Amino acid sequence: GAVVSQHPSWVICKSGTSVKIECRSLDFQATTMFWYRQFPKQSLMLMATSNEGSKATYEQGVEKDKFLINHASLTLSTLTVTSAHPEDSSFYICSASRGPGELFFGEGSRLTVL
Amino acid sequence: AQSVTQPDIHITVSEGASLELRCNYSYGATPYLFWYVQSPGQGLQLLLKYFSGDTLVQGIKGFEAEFKRSQSSFNLRKPSVHWSDAAEYFCAAFKAAGNKLTFGGGTRVLVKP
């Protein structure tokens, strides 16, 4: 199956710093990538849809200036958590679309903000 | 509003026993349906999906799911669970356009020896 890689898999940072998480489709081109957030023992909540070469589409309630998404190429999307605070601590998961109904998920990135 | 519901938050089953996880959806038309499994601290692995056709879908790891339009359900089953099946299971759906998945709340499966 197709492979989607996320990096880093875990990160600890100080409050007020920014953290960048990368999502790469390793063996296919993904015109669309998705970013999800998952709180402990909860489901995945879609944060935004990232389209290559255009601005991301954010879900209601997601702060665009807090969670910056860039999809600069067909194999890479990045999520930057700006001025991170403890409440931003979470598990962030990306998925990449290879076509209709073909979605592949990354391994997730655990962010802990101290 | 479009939604996916998993009525059971957690299920405990004995190893070797059968397992059924429930999933109901609320969409204007039949969406594409998926079941994913997530081990602790890891990403999601696709077990199976339904787009159209045969309503009984076979997946990986011995799982199957049955789509029932009349009940708006897509329940996941496994005849005999293994200890390695302990995980969180998510049902998900999206409409034809957009690939935008909506997830159910998840069902945590515990397997007793």
Q: Is B25 on the interface with A (CB under 8 A)?
A: no
In angstroms, the CA B37 to CA A104 distance is 13
> Above pLDDT 70, what percent of chain A?
99
Decide if pLDDT at A49 tops 80.
yes
DSSP character for B84? Answer: G
In angstroms, the CA B78 to CA B37 distance is 13
List, in sequence order, every residue forming a beta bridge with A78; answer none if it has no partner.
A22, A70
Decide if pLDDT at B100 tops 90.
no
How do beta strands A90-99 and A102-105 pair?
antiparallel
- Kindly report the nearest CA distance between residue A33 and chain B, in angstroms: 10
List, in sequence order, every residue forming a beta bridge with B109; answer none if it has no partner.
B11, B87
Q: Is A107 within 8 Å of B102 when comparing Cβ atoms? A: no
Dihedrals phi, psi of A72, to nearest 5 degrees: -80, -25
Classify B51 in phi/psi space as left (phi over 0), alpha (psi -120 to 50) or beta. Answer: alpha
Q: Tell me the average pLDDT across A72-87.
A: 94
Each residue's pLDDT tens digit, B29-86: 888 999 999 988 888 999 999 988 999 999 999 999 999 999 999 999 999 999 999 9
Decide if pLDDT at B99 tops 80.
no
Decide if pLDDT at A30 tops 80.
yes
Within 8 A of A41 by CB-CB distance, chain B residues are 108
> pLDDT value at position B97?
63
